[in-house]
Structure formats: C-alpha cells, structure tokens
Amino acid sequence: MFKTLPQSDPAEFAGRRVVVTGGSRGIGAAIVQRFLDGGAIVVASARKATDETPQAATFIPGDVSTPEGVRTLATAALEVLGGVDIVVNNAGAARTHLGGIGSIPDEEWVDALALNYLSAVRVTGAFLPALRESGAGSVVVNISSGMAVELAAPLAHYGAAKAALNAYSKALASELAPAGIRVATVTPGNVLTPGADAIRQTLADAQGVPLDATTSAIPLGRPGDPRDIAEAVAYLASDRAQWVTGTNLVVDGGELPIA
C-alpha cells in the first residue's frame, strides 16, 4: 500500500500561482492538494466539484474540451490569481469500445482529441502570455498516459490523443526553453481513481476476470495511488527540476515497456 510520506516542505511553492485542470477528483485532486501542501495558491477546475475537491483551492467550473470553456476558465483564473506560474493539464477521460477500432464512432475520435489533447493545447495557449510574464521558472506539466505508447484497440482514440499530447509537449518545451519556461509530461500507469476504475471494470468484465487482475502484474506489487503522480508533478514543477524540460516521466510501478 501507499506509504505516507513525511510532510513536504510547506514553503516550497509559497506564492506560486497554480492552475490544475481536472482538479475535482482522482489524480487532479491529489495534485491540487500537493501544491496546497507546498504553500501554493491553487485554482482547481472541472465541470463539477466533488467531495474530493480540496476546499482550500478556488474551484472554477468549466469544460476544457471546448475553446469557449477554456477562454472562460483562463479569464476567471487570471482574475483570481492575478497571473500564473504553473499550469497542470490533467483533465482527461476515455470511453472503452470493445468491438475493435472500427467500432469507435467518428464523433468519439473527435471528442477524445478535444478533451485529451486539444484541451492542453488550448489551456496552455490561453495562459501563455501570463506564463511569459511570470518568466523563467514557470512550468507546464501535461498528464499523458501509458496508452500513448501501448495502444490498445478499446482505447485507441484516447491513446492516439495522448500520443499527440506527448509530441506537442516536446515541441512546446523546445519553443519555450529560451524563455526559461519548462514543459514536462507525466505518464501514469494504472492509478486507482474513479475514472480509471470504471474503465478497468469494463475491461475486466469483457475478459471475465476480477478487477484486481487488471493490476496484478505491476512489478512493484500495487496499483498507483493518485499521490504517486502528484509527487512526480510537484518535483517537475519545482526548482528541484530546474534543468529538466521536454522530459516524459513515467510513474507506473515498473509496468510499462518504456523508460
């Protein structure tokens, strides 16, 4: 099971202004909490807050899969924060299709791209002037997926969108490096969250195996806890990673066949 870590430095992110999309639950909520624990001022966004949404963050409702939703979020967040230093593009979701790639309807390819790829492009674009104003030391972290490299038919649309996100992150890192703005990607493996648990249940049911079987082959012996991913994001967003950009940090208990 997850080992509770000693209290993180409560001043590590003091004064840093952070926006986390998909911050209402699961990995996003853990990322929001991790920045709050480090003293940051945090805006969490999603379509709806939940019981898991950290109360000490300012919650701004919004749909980041549309250009209007992104514009509204950026305007409201910049008003609350007065600028931004760290943007975490975490919002994402997938719908499983068990009838092969051909069974994924056209509109779902479009939706998958809009939510899992274009949301990050648009959110980053909307905050970029503010990030440039914040200057060297500001950071963008994009949350990808192992499905970007291990493309599986039931989630091919989602995996393709995350693969696009990886390519975009790399290009963005090169472009923003001269301004001292860093860009990193985190690739989670199997992490226990409301969204991913529902997907795993569908896949387990289709194979006629218990839910546990979908995570039993993880070399480190357990599925991920959202805090495992939040810790990686905190490292990448901190000055401890000041010479790290364009990287894709895989946090997966050793499961994925990539470094």
Enumerate binding residues for ligand NAP (CB under 6 A): 21-22, 24-28, 46-48, 63-65, 90-93, 115, 143, 145-146, 188, 190-191, 193-196
Q: How far is the CB of 182 from ligand NAP (least distance, A)?
A: 20
CA distances from 202 to 45, 83, 98, 146, 205 (A): 27, 41, 9, 18, 5
Taking the least distance from each CB to ligand NAP, the nearer of 24 and 33 is: 24
Q: How far is the CB of 179 from ligand NAP (least distance, A)?
A: 26
Taking the least distance from each CB to ligand NAP, the nearer of 33 and 190 is: 190
Q: How far is the CB of 124 from ligand NAP (least distance, A)?
A: 14
Whether residue 117 lies in the annotated active site: no
Taking the least distance from each CB to ligand NAP, the nearer of 57 and 143 is: 143
Helix (H), strand (E), coil (C) string for the chain:
CCCCCCCCCCCCCCCCEEEEECCCCHHHHHHHHHHHHCCCEEEEEECCCCCCCCCCCEEEECCCCCHHHHHHHHHHHHHHHCCCCEEEECCCCCCCCCCCHHHCCHHHHHHHHHHHHHHHHHHHHHHHHHHHHHCCCCEEEEECCHHHCCCCHHHHHHHHHHHHHHHHHHHHHHHHHHHCCEEEEEEECCECCHHHHHHHHHHHHHHCCCHHHHCCCCCCCCCECHHHHHHHHHHHHCHHHCCCCCCEEEECCCCCCCC
Residue whose C-beta lies closest to ligand NAP? 195
Taking the least distance from each CB to ligand NAP, the nearer of 131 and 155 is: 155
Q: How far is the CB of 11 from ligand NAP (least distance, A)?
A: 27
Taking the least distance from each CB to ligand NAP, the nearer of 7 and 55 is: 55
Q: How far is the CB of 32 from ligand NAP (least distance, A)?
A: 10
d(C-alpha 174, C-alpha 250), whole Å: 20
Name the catalytic one among 117, 158, 168, 235.
158
| Active site amino acids | 158
